[in-house]
Every structure is written in C-alpha cells, then in structure tokens.
Amino acid sequence: MTLDPARTPFPDGFLWGASTAAHQIEGNNVNSDWWRKEHDPAAKIQEPSLDACDSYHRWEQDMDVLAELGFTDYRFSVEWARIEPARGHFSRAEIAHYRRMVEGAIARGLRPMVTLHHFTIPQWFEDLGGFTAEGAVELFARYVEECAPIIAEGVPYVCTLNEPNMIAVMAGLAKRGEQGFPPAGLPFPDEETTHAVIAAHHAAVKAVRSINPDIQVGWTIANQVYQAVPGAEEVTAAYRHPREDVFIEAACGDDWIGVQSYTRTKIGPEGPVPAPADAERTLTQWEYYPAAVGYAIRHTAELIGPDTPLIVTENGIATGDEQRRIDYYAGALDAVAACIEDGIDVRGYLAWSALDNYEWGTYKATFGLIAVEPGTFARKPKPAAHWLGGLGRERHLPRL
Ligand code: FCB
C-alpha cells in the first residue's frame, strides 16, 4: 500500500516526527524502578537495558539524523529518576542536561515535545508505594514544577504522563504477582492507580500551565482498537471503558490528546478473541494492522469532542522486514489522511520509534526508523526513515 502522493490534507504546521522515551534509549538509568526490576531474577525480564542506545551521551547525533532525514518534530522524555535521584534532591546538572536537549532540538529545526513521565519512576518513589502512595500526587507535581527550567521556553508541547492506562494495567498485573509488559487485549487495570494517575495528570497540567500558559499540555493514551465481533458491541464498550475511555474523558479541557496505537483487539461475548492463526504478526506478536490508527483517532475524537486537537504521538511496527515497515507507515498515514479529510482535527504524526531501542524487556522488537549497531552505537537510518522523513520535508517545509 502506498500513500497517494496527490493526497495532502495535512495542515500547515503538522507535526512530522518520531518519538522516544528516556529509559528505552539513554542507557544506565540506574536509579529507576525498571533498572532494579531488570536485575531482579524474580521479575523474569528477558534482558536488561544496560547501555541502551547510549542516547544520554549521543542525543545530538540522534537529533542530527532526524533533522537531516526531514523530520520537524521530536518527542522525547525527561527522566524523573535522574532529575530527582533522591526524594527532594533535584539535580541541577540533569536539569541542565535536558535543557541542552531542548535547545539542541530547536537549533536543528526540531520542535521538541517533552514527556515528563514515560513509565519509569525513581526507586525511592517506588519504595514509597508509587502513584497510589500518600502524597504521591504532590510529589509528582513538585517534580513537574522543578522541570520549569527545561520546558519554560521553546517547548510547544508537553505530555504529562505517557499511557496512563498502561500504568494502571501494569499496576494491576504487579498486584497479582505478575511482571512485565502486558499482552494486547490487556488485563484489568488497577482502579486505585487509575484514580491516582488521573489526579497526577490534573496536578501536572496545572503545574505546566503555571510554568508557561503558552505550553500546550496533554497526555497520551494507549488505544487498543477494540473491535466488537457482531453482537458483542455492549461487551466491547464495557471492556473498553476502564481500559481506555476513562483516561480519554480525563483529558477534557487539555490542550491536546495523544493517540497511540499499533494493532487491534477483537472482542467477543467472552472477551478478547485472538487473531486467526494465519494472520500476519509482527515481532511483538501483534496482528499486522496499519488501519488501527484510523480507528483509534476516530474513537478518541468521538469521545473527547471537536474542541480538543489530536496528535498521533506513537504509531509503528516491530519488524525486520523493511518493506513491511514502509507498508505499515503508508497504510497508517492513509488512515490518518482520511480522518483529516473527514474533518477530525489531527495536528501531527510521530512515529514510534526514532531508534531501535529497549522495548521493556527486550532489544529484539525492532520498532526503530534508525538502527543502532550494538557495541559501537552507530546510527543507520533504515529505508522507512528516509521515506517518512521525506514526507516531513516535502509536506512541511517550503520548497527551495
Ligand atoms: C507503547 C509505549 C512505548 C513502546 C511502544 C511499543 O506502549 O509507550 O514505550 O513500548 O508501546
């Protein structure tokens, strides 16, 4: 499938970008809960993150490559475990590090979208009990306030928490003694965590707005594209609500909402129905389904209403087949274009992910537009990076 080159519904200022998350690319995030988990045999994590892509030191190179490819936007996260390694101790050096990243992005013509929390927390916060602990919301809000020097100027978009629904699902798993990243379909989220992260988000929105009211603040929701088997429409709606809708509804009044989707999940009268045995699957075992993002956008828009713009903040495929990666992006962008043509206010498309990175337990799920050579950390853009970056260049920047 190819995107019709004559089709250009993407509005001016559309975000053409790629996304990453600190823990997945920086390396040696030793004060985080994930680092500890990765080194706990009981957690049965396939492999630890260790040096990851060494982006903590090589972020300039990452940004150089993205800008050269033609991208205009870069979403990255700042790491709470580095910024506040001990409770109440805020590292001026780490804050300066992330400020340099913001300035480095701007200098290269990349608009920075900064995520304040992407799954990982400092170990001291985990020891306290995480988001459901007493005072947790205030502690998160204080961390956000301390990020002021990073985001106060030149950052058009801030995401408070990435995929709060996955945080609640993972908390539910942990309470049942299971670890790791949940399968598509998703176990029931922990309700206490749901309430806590929604409160944390609202407090963070307030804090960001008090830092600079011009910052567009929102959060990003994992959308599983639950599709009802005929007759199971009500079951599907009930299944979806605590896993997704409650988090979309909590974004009412935000400046934008992030849509993140990869595949679909069929729901029958008894719950999730696995994809047929002969369905094409990606390296994460998810069904190959590039149309997912279109369903995710339409569902989100319907729920949040016309006043909140949408940004696709993650979408992509784990594959070793580079033609299939391009096919996936072309199919997905076709779906995004159709949503815009139907009048939905979609403001951007950020691919997941800029780099092959640490996919929460494994390096084998290669989502990257750019390959990273193990050991040397050399960056090598893949064909999809040139294809997608080219779209950014052609459709966004004036031709010379
Ligand atoms: C999302 C996460 C991101 C990455 C992709 C594949 O759920 O936000 O960190 O793991 O899935």
51-74 pLDDT, tens per residue?
Answer: 999 999 999 999 999 999 999 999
| Average pLDDT value for residue range 229-252 | 97
- 3-class secondary structure, 27: coil
pLDDT of residue 136: 98
Identify whether 375 is part of a domain. Answer: yes
Whether the per-residue pLDDT at 202 is higher than 50: the answer is: yes
Cα(231) to centroid of ligand 1, in Å? 31
In degrees and rounded to multiples of 5, residue 178 shows phi and psi of -100, 160
pLDDT of residue 93: 99
Whether the per-residue pLDDT at 179 is higher than 80: the answer is: no
Identify whether 400 is part of a domain. Answer: no
Decide: 126 in ligand 1 pocket, CB within 6 A. Answer: no
Give Cβ neighbours of residue 30 (< 8 Å, ≥ 6 apart): none
Identify whether 110 is part of a domain. Answer: yes
Q: Spell out the alpha helix ranges (H) of the chain.
A: 22-25, 33-38, 55-69, 80-83, 92-107, 123-128, 136-146, 148-151, 164-175, 191-211, 233-240, 246-249, 292-304, 322-341, 383-396
Q: Are 267 and 234 in contact (CB under 8 A)?
A: no
Closest CA to 226 of 194, 258, 172, 185: 185
Mutate which of 163, 221, 313 for ligand 1 pocket (most atoms within 8 A of beta carbon): 163
d(CA 373, CA 209): 40
Number of domains in the chain: 1
Q: Are 307 and 270 in contact (CB under 8 A)?
A: no
Using one digit for the tens of pLDDT, what is the confidence trace for 90-142?
A: 999 999 999 999 999 999 999 999 999 999 999 999 999 999 999 999 999 99
| Average pLDDT value for residue range 260-277 | 96
pLDDT of residue 3: 63
Q: At what angle do helices 383-396 and 55-69 cross, to 10 degrees?
A: 60
Burial of 202 (0-12, 13-18, 19+ CB in 10 A): middle
DSSP designation for 87: T
Domain hosting residue 32, numbered range:
15-394
Residue 16's Cβ-side half-sphere holds a number of Cα atoms within 13 Å equal to 27
| Average pLDDT value for residue range 202-209 | 99
Whether the per-residue pLDDT at 398 is higher than 90: the answer is: no
Residue type, 354: A
Hey, what long-range contacts does 202-209 have (CB within 8 A, 24 or more apart)?
202/250, 203/137, 203/138, 203/140, 203/141, 203/144, 204/116, 204/140, 204/141, 204/144, 204/160, 204/161, 205/160, 205/254, 206/141, 207/141, 207/144, 207/145, 208/144, 208/151, 208/158, 208/160
Which of 82-96, 174-188, 208-222, 313-327 is predicted least confidently?
174-188
Closest CA to 244 of 268, 220, 279, 266: 220
Confidence class of residue 397 from pLDDT cuts 50, 70 and 90? very low
Q: Are 133 and 192 in contact (CB under 8 A)?
A: no
| Average pLDDT value for residue range 149-156 | 98
The CA distances from residue 71 to 9, 62, 78, 364, in Å, are 18, 12, 20, 25
Whether the per-residue pLDDT at 34 is higher than 90: the answer is: yes
Decide: 352 in ligand 1 pocket, CB within 6 A. Answer: yes
Cα(71) to centroid of ligand 1, in Å? 20
Cα(274) to centroid of ligand 1, in Å? 21
CATH code for the domain in which residue 42 is found: 3.20.20.80
Q: How many Cβ atoms are within 10 Å of 138's Cβ, its own excluded?
A: 12
Burial of 240 (0-12, 13-18, 19+ CB in 10 A): buried
Identify whether 4 is part of a domain. Answer: no
Cα(99) to centroid of ligand 1, in Å? 24
As a whole number, the mean pLDDT across the chain is 95
Decide: 166 in ligand 1 pocket, CB within 6 A. Answer: yes
d(CA 159, CA 171): 21
My answer on whether omega of the bond before 91 falls inside 30° of 0, hence cis, is: no
Confidence class of residue 6 from pLDDT cuts 50, 70 and 90? low
| Average pLDDT value for residue range 18-30 | 99
Closest CA to 396 of 77, 86, 14: 14
Only one residue has tokens 């809000």, namely: 141
Decide: 163 in ligand 1 pocket, CB within 6 A. Answer: yes
- 3-class secondary structure, 244: helix
Identify whether 1 is part of a domain. Answer: no
| Average pLDDT value for residue range 186-209 | 97
Cα(205) to centroid of ligand 1, in Å? 22
Identify whether 2 is part of a domain. Answer: no
Q: At what angle do helices 164-175 and 191-211 cross, to 10 degrees?
A: 150
Cα(38) to centroid of ligand 1, in Å? 17
In 3-state terms the chain splits into helix, strand, coil percentages (rounded to 5) of 40, 20, 40
Identify whether 10 is part of a domain. Answer: no
Decide: 161 in ligand 1 pocket, CB within 6 A. Answer: no
Q: How many Cβ atoms are within 10 Å of 142's Cβ, its own excluded?
A: 16
pTM to 2 decimal places? 0.97
pLDDT of residue 178: 78
Cα(6) to centroid of ligand 1, in Å? 32
Whether the per-residue pLDDT at 50 is higher than 60: the answer is: yes
Identify whether 320 is part of a domain. Answer: yes
| Average pLDDT value for residue range 134-155 | 98
Mutate which of 116, 262, 352 for ligand 1 pocket (most atoms within 8 A of beta carbon): 352
> Which residue, judged by its Cα, is nearest atom 4 of ligand 1?
359
Q: Are 233 and 265 in contact (CB under 8 A)?
A: no
